[in-house]
A and B are shown apart, each in its own frame.
Chain A
Amino acid sequence: MAYSFPEEVLEHVFSFLSSDRDRNAVSLVCKSWYDIERWCRRRIFVGNCYAVSPEIVIRRFPELRAVEMKGKPHFADFNLVPEGWGAYAYPWIAAMEEAYPFLEEIKLKRMVVTDESLELISKSYKSFKVLVLTSCEGFTTDGLASIAANCRHLRELDLRESEVEDLSGHWLSHFPDSCTSLVSLNMSCLGSEVSFCALERLVARSPNLRTLRLNRAVPLERLANLIRRAPQLVELGTGAYSAEIRSDTFSNLADAFSACKQLKALSGFWDVVPSYLPAMYSVCSGITSLNLSYAAIPSSDLVKLISQCQNLQRLWVLDYIEDSGLDALAASCKDLQELRVFPSDPFGAEPNVSLTEQGLVSVSEGCPKLESVLYFCRQMSNAALIAIAKNRPNFIRFRLCIIDPQAPDYLTLEPLDAGFGAIVEKCKELRRLSMTGLLTDRVFKYIGSHAKKLEMLSIAFAGDSDLGLHHVLSGCDSLRKLEIRDCPFGDKALLANAAKLETMRSLWMSSCSVSFGACKLLAQKMPRLNVEVIDERGPPDSRPEGCSVERAYVYRTVASRQRLDMPDFVWTHDEDSSLRYS
């Protein structure tokens, strides 16, 4: 049937649907809606690159313009996934080259991207506009040079926290003079110096530039010139924020800042010299996001800056801020929504700053809109957690990391079950939770009973038995991602909740008590789960079947369970022989 009037109308209606969930729902209504929808879908998000194959995606969605994809599991950030595990972008890039000549956006997270991939991107798509690589690795600045040189309509180049092999800063000079389309440039993860002239010229000829995040190698003396060329900036990441104290440097900087009337976000701040912070005061009242997590300066200096930012919504900071600084934050920033406090000396045996649970309690009391927290500290108590939960039932994300992973309540020496129990009980909208401390199976019972909207849970060194895992898998209705390390969870809970695993994106278990036998069984019973045994000690069947595997990564997939890029330390179900792992 040719495309007749009703279909066009439907397509037009569908074009107003931007959320993936809505589009997925629409496609399930009937076959013709499925067909119409798939032809007009322009953006796709793949949460696990191995859940589907490029062929399947291309077959279903022939007209994509934007692809967003994630690769390695979250714990890869902490070196728990061995190198060479997978998540290569190249097969996707190569497959899409033919299928999507009009592709405009590629956003990848935790994937291995090579220079060849970057070169292919830069040459394949005439209207390529957006490249965002978050926590990716495998490429060098040569690959960036290709992108700069060939993508004529490039709008965004964002390399958030990627591991780039930095051969030189020369790549930036590859942006042709004709490139005037830049809206966002984030090179903060790079080490080398770029040519400052080239950078200034690039900024000057990019009237739409909204986001500029420099790297550490850009000295403070250069910052004023750059900002002056881009007074329309909304987000700025400085380079090293240090220079000799000179009044002309200071006044230049202060003048440049005062011209930036739209600035909302500030970051960077390596090597801060506090005397230069007041140069920014003119913009502080408009600032909503402040990332000071590299600024190793004392609490008093931090507070002086933060208290200028009355409209602050997001703050990332080092624990140098201390409890006193957090008190001040609570007093002056009533719009605060997100707080992250990072440790300045995570490996030191003794605390180096006076930051305790009290700081978090103060902020939870003083900031009524606080909904997202990541907090590293060295002590915690049930009383504090209970108070926090009572103060702030609107938490959506709550991530607590006590440096000693099995620390009990430091006041009573009891487990922190009651504290975290209060969090999940009071915070009914909680979507993400990370816990540390001494925790028994009881906390998992609370989680299973109360955390009905929880989507992501991270557990380490907690629990007593399979019952803990069983509570979570059987009780958390919205669970999508579960990552566990060093917990005594094993086969029983896993097998008893096998079906649940297919409703989730993935489950990661490392250094737990999951046996190879159970993995085989799980894979056999659940044909749409890929059960990867990741073990660097050699073939799992060279050990007794009841022996625990180093890591098990279980994820639902509609692609083949024998991915072609598996390294030799990964074992999955052998489809040909149901009882043997290849």
Chain B
Amino acid sequence: MSIPQEHDYIGLSEPLPSEKSSDKTTAAATPSSNVGRNGVFSLKETELRLGLPGSEAPERKGGIGIGIGIGVSLYGKDESDCVKSGAKRGFSDAINGAGKWGLSINGGSEVDLGKKGGLNGSSVKQEIQPVEERKNEAAANTAPASKAQVVGWPPIRSFRKNSLATNTPKKEDVGGKSGMGTGCLYVKVSMDGAPYLRKIDLKTYCSYTEISSALEKMFSCFTIGQCGQGLAAKEHISESHLMDLLHGSEYVLTYEDKDGDWMLVGDVPWEMFTDSCRRLRIMKGSDAIGLAPRTMQKCKSQN
């Protein structure tokens, strides 16, 4: 397993001559053992450098850009294309505290799948492992969805998703946003005084607590003189506690239901809420008194 290396792009080191590039493999490239075996040619095409299109490798006096030989033969028969298993999206690997401009290379073990040339099944075993790791990676890196669904996947437009959901002959929800039985349920969230609104997927939350803290985080930049305690991101909040805080901070979470009425969030069981909620609004406590539908109509068009 190669050690992650640090490379500077600002000309703080000399350009690497192409002949020596076989020694300077990046961690993302093939294991050094393979490079020697293959020999290396046509490196100009594989050198990564910062330059204008069409420019030949300039004598770099100012040192804009460094050629980094990848040490991979792209045209040989025995291709050792660089492959990393696991650590595909190693964000933590990429963090390099030491250098200012240093851009760490993702570390990871290399699995040489190139030997197969054509895709015969000889390395099937090797394949399966990366697949599993990838899947775990993908799952681990998705949004904290209780249903383990990835945002925006499969890539289907909301309009189509909503139409699919209401494909049974129901006249309600025609063209509306709530999708029964779809994997996600996007509703708009507006806040009085905020310059723009946000969209959230109700299905990624399981309880009022979760949604409240998420909204808190999302809109915290807008609230002035909010709850004195200043909820920390990781603080566990009980529903009643939250409602108290929200009331105390003069903001109230409300929602518009299927019938177009505005209600306070938290009065009905969670499932009933997600079924009927069409949109959310964080409004000033003073405006929420009575929650007369008329008042809401007026404010709606401003959103």
Contacts and interface: CB of A to CB of B under 8 A. Distances in A.
Interface of A: 75, 77-80, 82-84, 115, 135, 140, 142, 161, 163, 165-166, 189-192, 215-217, 240, 242, 270-271, 293-294, 296, 342-347, 376, 382, 401, 403, 405-406, 408, 412-415, 417-418, 438, 440-442, 445, 460-461, 464-467, 470, 474, 485-488, 490-493, 495-496, 498-500, 503, 511-513, 515, 517-518, 521, 525, 536, 544-548, 567-568
B127 A441 contact: no
Contacts of B138: 405-406, 461, 486
A198 B229 CA distance: 57
B246 to A, nearest CB: 21
B236 interface: no
A161 B161 CA distance: 12
B294 interface: no
Contact of A346 (B65, B156, B186): B156
Interface string B98-142: 001111111000000110001101001001100100110010010
A536 B198 CA distance: 11
Interface stretch (B68-76, B205-213, B268-276, B281-289): B68-76
Nearest to A470: B48
A418 B119 CA distance: 8
Contacts of B68: 492
Given A461-B138, A547-B95, A189 B175 contact: yes
B167 interface: yes
A525 B301 contact: no
A545 B169 contact: no
Contacts of B48: 466, 470, 492-493, 495-496
B141 A511 contact: yes
B182 interface: yes
B127 A413 contact: yes
Q: Which of A405, A445, A465, A511 has the most CB of B within 10 A?
A: A465
19 contacts: A80-B152, A82-B198, A166-B175, A191-B175, A192-B175, A215-B175, A216-B174, A270-B163, A414-B121, A418-B119, A438-B134, A441-B83, A442-B114, A464-B82, A486-B141, A495-B103, A496-B65, A512-B89, A517-B103
B234 interface: no
Contact of A441 (B82, B106, B196): B82
Given A442-B81, A485-B152, A515-B94, A161 B157 contact: yes
Q: Which of A83, A418, A567 has the most CB of B within 10 A?
A: A83
Contacts of A445: 74, 81
B50 interface: yes
Nearest to A521: B9
A548 B94 contact: yes
Contacts of B81: 440-442, 445, 467
A347 B90 CA distance: 28
Nearest to A569: B221
Contacts of B83: 440-441, 464-465
A258 to B, nearest CB: 27
Given A83-B198, A525-B50, A567-B196, A216 B175 contact: yes
A440 B113 contact: yes
B199 A77 contact: no
Contact of B53 (A142, A345, A412, A499): A499
Given A406-B134, A513-B90, A412 B84 contact: no
Nearest to A77: B157
Interface of B is mostly: loop
A78 B154 CA distance: 8
A464 B111 CA distance: 11
A524 to B, nearest CB: 10
A485 B53 CA distance: 26
Contact of B50 (A191, A342, A466, A495): A495
Contact of B154 (A376, A545, A548): A376
A296 B167 contact: yes
Interface residues of B, number: 89
B155 interface: yes
B183 interface: yes
B160 interface: yes
Nearest to B28: A465
In the A-B complex, the 9 residue pairs with the smallest Cβ-Cβ separation, listed nearest first, are: A191-B175, A84-B196, A78-B152, A347-B183, A496-B48, A465-B28, A488-B88, A546-B95, A546-B96
Contact of A217 (B101, B104, B169, B174): B174
B176 interface: yes
Given A163-B158, A460-B153, A544-B95, A142 B301 contact: yes
Given A342-B160, A464-B83, A518-B103, A403 B154 contact: yes
Interface string B170-209: 0100111000001110101000000111110100000000
Contacts of A465: 28-29, 82-84, 106
Contacts of A440: 81, 83, 113
Nearest to A344: B164
Nearest to B52: A499
A408 B119 CA distance: 12
B225 interface: no
B199 A83 contact: yes
Nearest to A415: B127
Contacts of A503: 53
Contacts of A376: 154
B60 to A, nearest CB: 14
B291 interface: no
Contacts of A490: 94, 103, 106
B199 A79 contact: yes
A406 B131 contact: yes
Q: Which of A142, A376, A408, A496 has the most CB of B within 10 A?
A: A496
Nearest to B105: A492
A499 B101 contact: no
Contacts of A294: 163-164, 167
B167 A271 contact: yes
Q: Which of A77, A413, A486, A500 has the most CB of B within 10 A?
A: A486
Contacts of A474: 45
Given A163-B158, A344-B164, A418-B119, A84 B152 contact: no
Contacts of B102: 546
B198 A78 contact: no
Contact of B151 (A79, A271, A545): A79
B179 to A, nearest CB: 10
B53 A500 contact: yes
A408 B127 contact: yes
B159 A544 contact: no
B58 interface: no
Nearest to B141: A511
